[in-house]
Amino acid sequence: MIPLKKKIDLPDYPRKGLFMAFKDRQMPCFGVTANLDITRFRQFVEEAGCRFYISVTYLIARAVNQIPELRHRLIDGELYEFERVDPSHTVLMPDNTFSFCDSVYMEDFRDYHDDLARRIEAIKKAPDLENREKDHMIFITNVPWISFTSITHPVEAKYTSIPTIAIGKFFEDNGRVLMPLSIQAHHGLADGYHLGLFYEGMERMLNNPEDFCN
């Protein structure tokens, strides 16, 4: 079921000036990439017998949902705030192409983990590239071959307000395991401050996985 949304009254919108400044730009999005320490989280996930990708996307979805600005969407020229946003993933296929895999964010980690695991296995048998309504989603992709320092994504005009997040190849640095994580967002709806909140939330959960992934 698509989450509920409420219309944002533009005259009372605190970001009205910024929104108006960026909404008609050919490329209104901006992005940030940072390396996150996953040393403790990776060990916790392995010991719990959970899949790393699914587990880290749970943290991503949780972090995004805690920031209202990242749940704001521009739909047919109107602004809305969704009560919840759900992840849409890319899944690598046996022939090295990929398929989309839409899922649902659930606050309970185990419910989310098991549900997404089932969806991924189903997608591997029946790929899905349908361009259905996705305003209530965030896009998450995995690039496990590259420890990138920046990345750009294709942007469909109707979905410029949907944050896009990419996970990169792990690498070691002075005994730590680091993971590149990028986020691209609409600059009329969010600034570096909001992306900073996203990364702060990720760092907090990665450092304390037992508080969030049980």
Token pair recorded at residue 136: 């209530």
Rounded Cα distance between 14 and 20, Å, is 12
What is the set of domains in the chain, with CATH numbers?
A: 5-211 (3.30.559.10)
H, E, C per residue of 151-206: CCCCCCHHHCCCCEEEEECCEEECCEEEEEEEEEEECCCCCHHHHHHHHHHHHHHH
Which parts of the chain are beta strand (E)? 5-7, 29-37, 72-75, 78-82, 86-92, 98-102, 137-143, 164-168, 171-173, 176-186
Residue 49: partners with Cβ closer than 8 Å, 6 or more residues away: none
In this prediction, residue 67 carries a pLDDT of 98
pTM of the full predicted structure? 0.96
Rounded Cα distance between 174 and 169, Å, is 17
Cβ(168)–Cβ(179) below 8 Å:
yes
* Strand ranges across the sheet with 78-82: 5-7, 78-82, 72-75
Dihedral sign computed on CA atoms, order 43, 46, 52, 55: negative
Cβ(84)–Cβ(71) below 8 Å:
yes
In this prediction, residue 152 carries a pLDDT of 93
Q: What share of the chain is helix, strand, coil (3-state, %, to 5)?
A: 35, 30, 35
In this prediction, residue 129 carries a pLDDT of 77
- Which of the residues in the chain have pLDDT under 50? none
In this prediction, residue 208 carries a pLDDT of 96
Token pair recorded at residue 128: 């899905």
In this prediction, residue 188 carries a pLDDT of 96
Token pair recorded at residue 106: 């659930």
In this prediction, residue 157 carries a pLDDT of 86
